[in-house]
Amino acid sequence: MEENEVVKPKGVWEMLRWLVYEPELLKSYSDSIKDWKSRFRALLSPMGLIALISISVYLAFGIIIAGFDLPSYFPKQFKPELQEVWHGSFFEKWLAYCSTTFKKYLIDIIIYLAVGIVVGLTGGLAIGLAYGLAFGLAFGLAVSLVYGFAQGLAFGLAYGFAVGLAYGLVVSLVFGLAVGLAYSLVYGLTFGLAFFINWIIFDYRLYSYTWYSVKCILGKYSLVKNPHLHDGVIGFPIWGMAEQFQKEAFEDPEKGTEFTGFLFTSRRILQYPLAYQIRLASTAGHWRKNRLDPFAIKNYPFPSIEYSSMMVKDEWVFFQTSRTEKLFSPPNPDWYTQLESTRTHLSDFEQESNVQIRVRYFRTFREELNKLYDLALRQPPEWNEYFVKALELWKKSAADKLRDLELEAAAEEPIAANIYRGGEKLKPEDKELFLGRADLRDAFKKRVVTAVQMPLFFVQGQRRVGKSSLIAFLPSFLDRGFTVVSFDMQEHPGLTLRALLQKLRERIHSVVLGQNAPETPLPDDWAGAWQAFREELDGIASAREARIVLAIDEYEELQKILQTNPEQGGALLGAMRSWSQSQNRVVFLFAGADFFSELKSPNWAEYFVQAERLYVDYLGHDDSLALINLVGLKYPAELLERMYRETQGHPCLLQKICREIVTIANKEGRESRAIVEADYEEALRRVLLMPDDGVVNIFWQQFCENRGLKDTIRQILRGETPTDEKALLVLEDHRFIVRDAAGVRMRVPLFELWLRRYQVT
């Protein structure tokens, strides 16, 4: 069956069963019938059945009245004309009952069933059938009873049954009061009391609740066999069901997930607390079965619990009255944040191939796992038990895994731990590798902490020099009053502006609030999408009383989006500038290799004249030597100076070379920690002297190709005076070349070595 296909009742009895047990199915079926003729045909058969039921009740009560000779014992409760003919045998009395009451009964039942059909045509099948059933039972029970208690009781029971199916308590009280005013106090109070009692019984299904609870206590129910599967209006938690089903879902999470999906899609909000408890136990069960697997947390995430879905709101048709009741205790906000941090650190470990870095990353993950476990202990007791159990197993497995990793690292790298990176973005776990950025840290922190109006920052520098790493370390620079939301444009190519803002929105909600973004879509037009995004971001920052740093890496990809519509793109940049200058809660930070002035249509330099520029350059002499000596290998002083001179402190080149030197030092059979010139030469051959070295080839094939600089580079390498002064200025502004008394040369000798080998003829 298709997802949106409406289920149709198989017959009249099933339609009436839906009225009692599956009101949502009946409502969906009713809503699917658009024209009045089809709705009339749908009502006709069940109303006929209701008429037969009413006649049967009428005749049965006549037999009871005649059999117990009730008019003789309770004369005031029956019509005088019935008293006059009430004599003779049982059969004669029954005929007297029928002859006295049947004509009025028949007229009334036809009229009120017709009213039920009219109500059904205008208000829906459920309301029409409920009224039809109410009138049918009422007249079947009470048409012969005229006075006081008995008729009030009969009508009250019948109406209580029907309204219990359709409305609620307020309606019952008002009906009782109205009837009391219209007829008599005794009649009204009796009617209201009977109505209220029957409403309680049928609205909350007390006639079946006790039976359900007994069977549950006896262990007769399971996730695949229980009353929720066929009864859609269970009003109270069934004794022991939540605990029993949580245990089963923890052991068999697939069944638990399937059952909760059914509850969320096919049952009322009153079943949501049970659904959440079982889904949480199912999630914990998946984690138990997939220990130390980051995909377990990703594929079976902790359910995002919206506050509105933890509240029950009942509204009645005749009165705009509602009650709101909290049904479920959500986790505290730190839970989502810590959960994402734990998953991210485990994912970082899984993606790393360097054994020493894997050990370090796994230790950090284990620390985050312990924090998550401590948080689990403090979560609401109705659901935290199974996460505590699952995370205890994770902790045990993590301890065993760390011991194996340390043994593996000691066996593979007996001389020195190879902690160097080969061009990857540094993470906070790599803090010993993050050197030489104190000036940038201090400049950013001083400016952003003291600003009355938030400046826009521009982090500029060559590729592979550490811009992304700087963004990754921003949280450690700033105090707890700041939250850094980073977004790498290269990881999301080909987005539209609306899709980009949606991705940013999701990232902000995940990092700042620890939850999913609302499903409300952003407008299609750029101005409307930005306005909605800005208002939501402003609200989040204001509510959290925190400043948000929105760091967009590789911002040139954003320019590609704006170039698809330069006019709207310019308007968007203007709106961003205006908002940035009018508030002090959100900081924009763009990072890239291109200057603002190099981006045209729209021209960024026109909009962000006062942007704060942070230039990320190569490492200095002392920081370069500190990086080389980080793992305790013994380098000759001459070799240290040569390495700095030939790399000029280029961080990516140094990391790649040092990583390869450590690999050489750890090779089988080597015992000395001393490094010689031959080791350095071999490392250069392995990491640099190849066509796709990952550093210089990017400069040549991307930077030079896109800007038409290759001929100028060739002239420099041939020792000629370059003829294109504009090209020289671009190379100099981006700090790839140096001018001195001897002329123009490449700033990094290893760049020149690679270029002469592969590109200059």
Mean pLDDT per block of 10 residues along the chain (761 residues) reads 66 77 77 80 80 80 83 75 82 84 79 77 70 60 42 46 42 40 42 53 68 86 90 80 92 93 80 86 92 81 61 40 53 82 89 86 94 92 90 95 90 88 86 90 80 81 93 85 90 92 92 82 93 92 84 95 94 92 89 94 92 93 96 95 97 95 85 92 93 92 94 93 94 95 93 88 49
Look at residues 327, 353, 160 and name the one whose alpha carbon lies nearest to residue 237: 327
Residue type, 565: N
Angle between helices 651-665 and 677-687 (to 10 degrees): 120
How far apart CA 589 and CA 436 sit, in angstroms, is: 20
Closest CA to 312 of 200, 173, 168, 131: 168
440-449, pLDDT tens digit by residue? 888 888 887 7
Q: How many CB atoms lie within 10 A of CB 257?
A: 18
Residues 6+ apart with CB under 8 A from 221: 215, 227, 241, 244
Q: How far is CA 393 from CA 135, 292, 389, 533, in A?
A: 61, 9, 7, 41
Q: Which two tokens stand for residue 659?
A: 């990583």
Q: Which pLDDT belongs to residue 433?
A: 92
Q: Are 470 and 590 in contact (CB under 8 A)?
A: no
Q: Is 234 left (phi over 0), alpha (psi -120 to 50) or beta?
A: beta
Enter the tokens of residue 414.
């007996």
pLDDT of residue 624: 97
- Structure-block tokens of residue 742: 């001897």
CA distance 575 to 669: 64
Q: What is the DSSP letter of 512?
A: I
Tell me the CA end-to-end span of the chain in Å, nearest whole number.
Answer: 68
| Radius of gyration, alpha carbons of the chain | 39
Q: Please give the backbone phi and psi of residue 34, each rounded to the nearest 5 degrees, phi first.
A: -90, -40
Return the DSSP state at 336: H
Burial 347-361 (b: 16+ CB within 10 A, else e): bbbeebebbbbbbbb
**Three-state SS for 403?**
helix
Longest Cα–Cα distance in the chain = 138
Tell me the DSSP string of 682-719. Answer: HHHHHHTSSTT-SSHHHIIIIIIHHHT-HHHHHHHHTT
| Distance, CA of 123 to CA of 127 (rounded, Å) | 6
Tell which residue, 140, 202, 138, 141, has the closest CA to residue 167.
202
Q: What is 404-422 written as a DSSP string?
A: HHHHHHHHH-SS------S
* Residue from 280, 268, 240 nearest 381 by CA: 280
Predicted TM-score of the model (pTM): 0.65
623 and 603 Cβ atoms separated by less than 8 Å: no
Residues counted in the chain: 761
Residue 308 has a pLDDT of: 52
Q: At what angle do helices 677-687 and 637-647 cross, to 10 degrees?
A: 30
pLDDT digits (tens, 9 = 90+) for 672-681: 899 999 999 9
**Which pLDDT belongs to residue 62?**
80
